[in-house]
Structure 1
Amino acid sequence: MKIRFFFVLSLFSLQILLSQEPVEFVNPFIGTSNYGATNPGAIAPRGMASVSPFNVAGGTNKLEKDSQWLSNPYVHENVFLTGFSHVNLSGVGCPDLGVILAMPTTGDVETNHETYGTTYKNETAKAGYYAVELDKYQIKAEVTASTRVGVSKYSFPKGKANILINLGLGLTNEQGGMLKINSPSEVEGVRTVGSFCYNNPEASYPVYFVAQLSKPSKEFGAWKNPYNYEGVEAQWMTYNDKVRIKKGFTREVVGDSIGAYFSYDFQQPTEVELKVSVSYVSIENARENLQKEVGNRSFNEIYEETRDAWNEKLSVAEVEGGSAEDKTVFYTALYHTQIHPNIISDVNGEYPEIATGKIGQTEGSRYTVFSLWDTYRNYHQLMTLLYPGEQTEMINSMLAMYDENGWLPKWELNSTETFTMVGDPASVVIADSYLRGLRNFDVEKAYQAMLKGATVTENNPLRPGNAEYVEKGYLSVESGIAGPVSTTQEYNISDFAIAQLAKALGKKEDYKKFYKRSLSYRKLYDSKTGLLRPKRANGDWYEPFDPNAGANFTKNVGYIEGNAWQYVYMVPHDIWGMIKLKGGGENFIQQLDYIFDAGHYDMANEPDFAYPFLYNFIMGENDKAQKRINDLLGRYYSNAPAGLPGNDDTGTMSAWVIYAMMGFYPVTPADPAYTLFAPKFKKVTLHLKDNHEVVIKSFIKAGEPLKYVLIDGEKNKKMFISHSKLIEASLIEMH
């Protein structure tokens, strides 16, 4: 009887699992610990606005109780909440944004966040929704968002209550702001942000907002700290004593530590909704975004629309045959890839141009937040496969930046160039997208933009040191360029991408030229150590050489965010050439084994991302690829706050696990192909453009490697498949 009951219950549980929609498997808490730098707040797909709980000290405040990792507004281990920020970044390694904070409180108005902040409990997070209970005030706060508007619902108890809009808090050093209270239920203003990674502080920029309340307040006012001190610490120490509050103040308030408050005296428990619309163009555009995007719709209506939008986005891939935990990891990763790059254009199509100071106009969507050193390796290939329309708009956004700025982007953020990281990655992304079949952009303009980045030898922001690179084929330690070995490799990969696009466009001489340049990393190969080593300008090896230095973000003269082991095989365009340098496949595999077994592989950073898949280049070694992939999945990815191996890098870590769970991976940027291995699920259905479905079925037992593949009934000869063959297939069977 018990066995029968258990069997019936198991069938019921299975039916529940199978009936769930993709959106129900999203856990936004994944990545909020272990420096994943995500947040559990509410955002619409590709949203400009988002509403995140803010539980880090941020900015210039030195509050010690919650000080972990200030590149994002929320860390799972922190316990002290000071509001909800309305423009945020996800999965980045440097602070920016985290501003325009709203905070519901009760009792008398208090403007010091160290005093009005509170512990909290009962957090809930879903795609497009976050809720929490504030201990100090017995308030339940719920948040959701449309593309450009953050929407909150506060459930207040009976008695005095307040809603604070704090423009002083944030994650950046810039604090300047302006606000103007228009009525008992509306405030508008602007907040200055910028200086990502503390680079280029002169390129700070404004974010505009309009905030509206569903119920007019009984009393309202503004606060300002009018005192200027030489020391930041002194300002914060005296802040609580010196702050000035003005009731009923409707003139503009300008300053660093400013804010607005709206107060109530409820005779019974009451809900108040707050809508905060943002724009990077103007207050007028922020107001238009609010009116046209959400209007008078309620919190619940907006959440349902956003939830449906998320479900539609995530339904591009259906997975079956895995556990609920596996599905949660998969769909949360897909969710994270739909946050950045995000839309920066307003509903009227206006956006701030990069570098010109002008306002541009787009018919589609202008995108921003291009963390290209990370995303060129796997993220944009995934977008081309699953969301080709979005990827095309991203390319057109990059080409518009070229028109405005004279250069393709490197690490663009809200129409500013941060110049973060190294290499010339936009060329790789654009070439790869074209070679995978995207055509709805001006490829000749793109090609000319790539040539400019690759050939200009003076004052080249994309390729500093390009004169030496063109002359010698490598960057020397005397070049003054950070990580000369790894930067040489990055230039090589970009040259390979240019060569492949040149070949596709019939530009034969360019193809020969740039393909030859793409192999110049070989000049840095030391046969004695089997590694790529830094060289001096005269051709001598740089001494002393420590192949282990550079790991875990320690400095090494030769490499960026890595060491010699993590960069030796970062030549994805020339793996066969590297195998030859090694003296054959046996030596290649032996060193690859050593890198993993000695603990040199770094899952938390991009340079060695492709390493576990490189075993497939040597016949008979794919069982090791499978073992490495399974080990990495089990060790680093889970349905938990620490369920990412580290900084998500605007979706790059998430893209890796999506591929790893689907059973194919794009090893070589600008080479439209994938290597194959056993997927995590028994069935994966990809809903591609023109209503074409690709079904991937796995007949492989857990832990076993892939033996052979049938594509529409025909045996695939290798452990690789071209992009065109994959997207044209109807049924891929893995055995």
Structure 2
Amino acid sequence: EAEWDPDQGKYKLYIRYGKEIAGDDIGTYFSFDTEEGEQVEVQMGVSFVSIENARLNLDREQSGKNFEQIHADARAKWNDDLSRITVEGGTDAQKTVFYTALYHLLIHPNILQDVNGEYPAMESDKIMTTKGDRYTVFSLWDTYRNVHQLLTLVYPERQMEMVRTMLDMYREHGWLPKWELYGRETLTMEGDPSIPVIVDTWMKGLRDFDVDLAYEAMYKSATLPGAENLMRPDNDDYMSKGYVPLREQYDNSVSHALEYYIADFALSRFAEALGKKKDAEMFYKRSLGYKHYYSKEFGTFRPILPDGTFYSPFNPRQGENFEPNPGFHEGSAWNYTFYVPHDVYGLAKLMGGKKSFIDKLQMVFDEGLYDPANEPDIAYPHLFSYFKGEEWRTQKETQRLLDKYFTTKPDGIPGNDDTGTMSSWAIFNMIGFYPDCPGLPEYTLTTPVFDKVTIRLNPKWYKEKELVIETNRTQPGTLYINKVLLNGKKFNKYHITHDELVHGQRIFFDLK
């Protein structure tokens, strides 16, 4: 065995070591007296519970199987998973990008429990046993935007188990996850991202979980004072003022508040659906607090000081290159200013109306202010479609961004995939629709890149067997939608509800 020795600056080797060893930088090496061409086959068991469970996993899952059998089994399973969506037409490169993205989507969240159901409980030393699948790696600040929406549509049985896992984490730890990793809460990034995920899932008809417990968990993080609040540490200011003021130069206060607005909007929809009218009104009113941050002088959101005045000196382009930026996390004011997916028309009104909104949003793309590799602005292209006559901009931008940033080259994805978030963005836009408001069961339509897409639907959750999306593209590079037919009837909108989609059977894009 080998262990890193910080004093020596090199690895310390243990040639004869018979005890357990633990640490951050340890490993084992083996040497074999092999002849030329001879292969060494290694089987490995892994457990987050115990060595005994690792052995049990190995024996139960791999006993009597050689490398070829396990490889063939894995290939068959992946092929079945990836075949839930089949695409026809498009280029070979587009198909490669698409199926690579679908593969990336399915890597996380991943299953944590051993074959006997045991797993490490959330934020404790307890070992518990699950009946279903216990998931881990919830990178929720990223994935609440599109990953869980894609899982809900195409892999609902997994999304259901993920929601149950999130609620079990609440039972064990007292909080829904923020950014959970192998039974530990990392508290990475900001917001209250479990709320839109669970609400979105429920709104789409996946309701096989403890709804009362879910509401209790959401209400807790939305209303507890900051000192006691793991999800919303600045909740005192947020609840009393309607915004989070800048109390330290780089405290990401605007980013925090924008995330809370989205969570509260989703919670207001959930409360209303559950008949909790007063709660629904309170959370909806809160979700509109973004208006405090709008600075007419710059036409962007701007940090607010504790005395209620705007922060100065202010540069809306600061943060473009991930340098520290007062009020904003990993981005400039331009990456956040249009991030009010639940009140697009209200934001447009603040900006002086449709023309001003559209011109400013187009400028973000034209001047290179859009960041395709980070989450806050990834739904920007879809906002054009909220305004009649401007939908073509969505269709143009989504295809331009796909062509530019999603390729088969080594850098063929814009930055970190963020546990499938960038890949989900590509998948949705390649097949012709995108869920731009988390928690709202709707999608914005855009031009598919394929001639035909067939999505296999899970009969346990969806009545129809499949959803077919077709275009009449006659030549590559046809960008724009002339009209849409849903089951043969003209569909005059560029937003489609989840119900319309899953019962649609056939969506036809007539392109021009």
TM bracket, shorter-chain basis: over 0.9
Q: 1:27 aligns to what? A: none
Deviation, 1:254, is 6.7
Deviation, 1:459, is 2.0
Partners of 2:498 and 2:76 lie apart in 1 by 30
Matched, 1:541 2:288: no
Post-superposition Cα deviations, 1:165-213, rounded to whole Å, max 9, x if no partner, equal: x664xxxxxx7xxxxxxxxxxxxxxxxxxxxxxxxxxxxxxxxxxxxxx
Matched, 1:455 2:223: yes
Q: 2:491 aligns to what? A: 716
Deviation, 1:252, is 4.9
2:267 and 2:280 in contact (8 A); partners too: yes
Q: 1:705 aligns to what? A: 480
Partners of 2:273 and 2:21 lie apart in 1 by 58
Distance change (3 Å), C-alpha of 1:730 and 1:272: same
Deviation, 1:640, is 1.8
Deviation, 1:256, is 7.5
1:630 and 1:703 in contact (8 A); partners too: no
Partners of 1:630 and 1:591 lie apart in 2 by 20
Post-superposition Cα deviations, 1:517-556, rounded to whole Å, max 9, x if no partner, equal: 0000101111222111100111111111110111221111
Distance change (3 Å), C-alpha of 1:396 and 1:479: farther
Deviation, 1:627, is 1.5
Deviation, 1:258, is 5.6
Counterparts in 2 of 1:178-193, with a 5 A limit? none
Q: 2:465 aligns to what? A: 692
Q: 2:71 aligns to what? A: 303
The residue identity in structure 1 corresponding to 2:362 is: D
Matched, 1:346 2:121: no
Partners of 1:648 and 1:589 lie apart in 2 by 29
Larger-gyration structure (1/2):
1
Q: 1:731 aligns to what? A: 506
Partners of 2:24 and 2:69 lie apart in 1 by 36
Matched, 1:236 2:14: no
Post-superposition Cα deviations, 1:208-266, rounded to whole Å, max 9, x if no partner, equal: xxxxxxxxxxxxxxxxxxxx6xxx2x4225x5xx74523xx545567777654444333
Picking from 429, 444, 461, the partner of 1:660 is 429
Distance change (3 Å), C-alpha of 1:255 and 1:688: closer
Partners of 2:23 and 2:492 lie apart in 1 by 67
Deviation, 1:704, is 2.6
Matched, 1:465 2:238: no
Distance change (3 Å), C-alpha of 1:470 and 1:250: closer
1:475 and 1:481 in contact (8 A); partners too: no
Deviation, 1:482, is 2.3
Picking from 84, 103, 121, the partner of 1:316 is 84
Partners of 2:94 and 2:364 lie apart in 1 by 28
Matched, 1:628 2:386: no
Query: Could you tell me the TM-score, scaled by structure 2's length?
Result: 0.95
Matched, 1:511 2:280: yes
Q: 1:123 aligns to what? A: none
After superposing on structure 2, the runs of 4+ consecutive aligned residues of structure 1 that deviate more than 2 Å are: 242-246, 249-269, 479-482, 700-704
- Percent identical: 49
Matched, 1:557 2:326: yes
Q: 1:673 aligns to what? A: 442
Where does the alignment leave 5 or more consecutive residues of structure 2 unmatched?
none
Counterparts in 2 of 1:430-509, with a 5 A limit? 430-457=198-225, 458-478=227-247, 482-509=251-278
Distance change (3 Å), C-alpha of 1:250 and 1:362: same
Distance change (3 Å), C-alpha of 1:504 and 1:663: same
The residue identity in structure 1 corresponding to 2:458 is: K
The residue identity in structure 1 corresponding to 2:137 is: V
Higher RCO, 1 vs 2 (CA within 8 Å, ≥6 residues apart): 2
Partners of 1:561 and 1:450 lie apart in 2 by 26
Q: 1:293 aligns to what? A: 61
Partners of 1:347 and 1:604 lie apart in 2 by 37
Deviation, 1:622, is 1.5
| SS of residue in 2 equivalent to 1:270 | coil
Deviation, 1:493, is 0.3
| SS of residue in 1 equivalent to 2:443 | strand
Count of residues in correspondence between the two structures: 503
Deviation, 1:437, is 1.1
Distance change (3 Å), C-alpha of 1:355 and 1:319: same
Partners of 2:78 and 2:365 lie apart in 1 by 37
Partners of 2:297 and 2:349 lie apart in 1 by 15
Q: 2:290 aligns to what? A: 521
Post-superposition Cα deviations, 1:111-151, rounded to whole Å, max 9, x if no partner, equal: xxxxxxxxxxxxxxxxxxxxxxxxxxxxxxxxxxxxxxxxx
Post-superposition Cα deviations, 1:406-450, rounded to whole Å, max 9, x if no partner, equal: 011000000000010000000110011101111111111001100
| SS of residue in 1 equivalent to 2:233 | coil
| SS of residue in 2 equivalent to 1:541 | coil
Where does the alignment leave 5 or more consecutive residues of structure 1 unmatched?
1-165, 169-174, 176-227
Partners of 1:505 and 1:682 lie apart in 2 by 41
Partners of 2:264 and 2:23 lie apart in 1 by 48
Partners of 1:262 and 1:598 lie apart in 2 by 55
Partners of 1:555 and 1:428 lie apart in 2 by 28
| SS of residue in 2 equivalent to 1:265 | coil
Post-superposition Cα deviations, 1:660-701, rounded to whole Å, max 9, x if no partner, equal: 100100111111011111100010101011161111111245
Matched, 1:587 2:356: yes
Post-superposition Cα deviations, 1:302-338, rounded to whole Å, max 9, x if no partner, equal: 0000000000101110100111111100010000000
2:384 and 2:394 in contact (8 A); partners too: yes
Picking from 374, 389, 395, the partner of 2:142 is 374
Q: 2:299 aligns to what? A: 530
1:465 and 1:481 in contact (8 A); partners too: no
Q: 1:245 aligns to what? A: 15
Q: 1:361 aligns to what? A: 129
Deviation, 1:398, is 0.5
| SS of residue in 2 equivalent to 1:351 | strand
Partners of 1:535 and 1:590 lie apart in 2 by 26
Deviation, 1:267, is 4.7
The residue identity in structure 2 corresponding to 1:732 is: I
| SS of residue in 2 equivalent to 1:708 | strand
The answer to which structure has the higher strand fraction is 1
Query: Could you tell me the TM-score, scaled by structure 1's length?
Result: 0.67
2:2 and 2:13 in contact (8 A); partners too: no
- Alignment RMSD, CA only? 1.7
Distance change (3 Å), C-alpha of 1:256 and 1:433: closer
Partners of 2:494 and 2:22 lie apart in 1 by 62
Matched, 1:614 2:383: yes
Post-superposition Cα deviations, 1:584-616, rounded to whole Å, max 9, x if no partner, equal: 111110101111111100001000001111111
1:622 and 1:705 in contact (8 A); partners too: no
The answer to which structure has the higher helix fraction is 2
Post-superposition Cα deviations, 1:560-598, rounded to whole Å, max 9, x if no partner, equal: 111111100001111011111112111110101111111
Partners of 1:256 and 1:592 lie apart in 2 by 46
Matched, 1:682 2:415: no
Partners of 1:536 and 1:259 lie apart in 2 by 50
Partners of 1:255 and 1:340 lie apart in 2 by 24
The residue identity in structure 2 corresponding to 1:710 is: L
Partners of 1:257 and 1:541 lie apart in 2 by 47
